[in-house]
């Protein structure tokens, strides 16, 4: 809790006093929240975060099931999709060797659609749950899904997850 409040404060570029004034609380109380000496009620936390231009939101935490693929390969399929922080959805990414073990190129630019598709194909095929939640964004996955070249078993299993999360819709903006 304390890290959340302080991160929001710093991101907004506010001093403790300025945030206390905006949030309608005292500086000593806000300082106690930031340093972990006190815990705010949920409505107080929401008010403090709102004063920094943030909101408290629930994010899905996917559970993964292993699916047997061909040749003894295991694919991991989630029960729900998730979103990545916007800064992690574009720009250069260097895939670790355990993901991109064949081929010379391991650096991709996620702002280029064909690079994003290639990264998603690699990570969906080779990735662990940690890899999937690090590199795959649910809305971007839904947007590019029909362009991905994936094994039938993997595509079918993930299609079920996509349909369950988006109600069978093909609209990327509906992924929360």
Q: 3-class DSSP state for residue 150?
A: coil
Same domain, 92 and 157: yes
Assign residue 19 the CATH number of its domain.
1.10.260.40
Kindly state whether residues 140 and 165 are assigned to the same domain.
Answer: yes
57 lies in some domain: no
56: in domain: no
Within 1-151, residue ranges assigned H as helices are 2-11, 16-23, 27-34, 42-51, 113-126, 129-135, 138-144
**What interhelical angle do 152-166 and 113-126 show, nearest 10?**
110
pTM of the model: 0.70
Q: What is d(CA 2, CA 39) in angstroms, rounded to the nearest whole number? A: 8
* Residues 26 and 69 occupy one common structural domain: no
Whether residue 46 is found in the same domain as residue 120: no
Range of the domain at 44: 2-51
What are the tokens at 22?
């905006």
> Do residue 44 and residue 69 come from a single domain?
no
| Burial tier of 126 (Cβ tally within 10 Å: 0-12, 13-18, 19+) | middle
pLDDT tens track, the chain, 176 positions: 668 999 999 999 999 999 999 999 999 999 999 999 999 999 999 999 999 999 888 777 899 999 999 888 999 999 999 999 888 999 999 999 999 888 777 899 999 999 999 999 999 999 999 999 999 999 999 999 999 999 999 999 999 889 887 665 544 434 44
Q: Are residues 75 and 151 in the same domain?
A: yes
In a domain, 138, yes or no: yes
């Amino acid at each position: 809790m304390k890290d959340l409040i302080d991160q929001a404060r710093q991101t907004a570029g506010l001093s403790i006093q300025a945030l206390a004034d905006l949030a309608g609380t005292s500086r000593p109380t806000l300082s106690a929240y930031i340093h972990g000496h006190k815990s705010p009620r949920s409505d107080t936390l929401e008010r403090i975060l709102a004063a920094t231009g943030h909101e408290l939101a629930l994010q899905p935490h996917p559970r993964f099931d292993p699916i047997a693929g061909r040749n003894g390969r295991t694919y991991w399929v989630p029960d729900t999709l998730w979103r990545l922080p916007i800064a992690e959805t574009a720009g250069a990414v260097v895939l670790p060797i355990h993901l991109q073990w064949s081929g010379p190129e391991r650096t991709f630019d996620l702002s280029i659609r064909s690079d994003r598709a290639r990264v998603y194909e690699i990570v969906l095929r080779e990735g662990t749950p940690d890899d999937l939640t690090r590199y795959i964004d649910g809305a971007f996955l839904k947007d590019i899904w029909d362009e991905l070249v994936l094994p039938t078993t993997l595509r079918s299993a993930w299609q079920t997850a996509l349909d369950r999360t988006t109600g069978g819709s093909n609209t990327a903006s509906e992924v929360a």
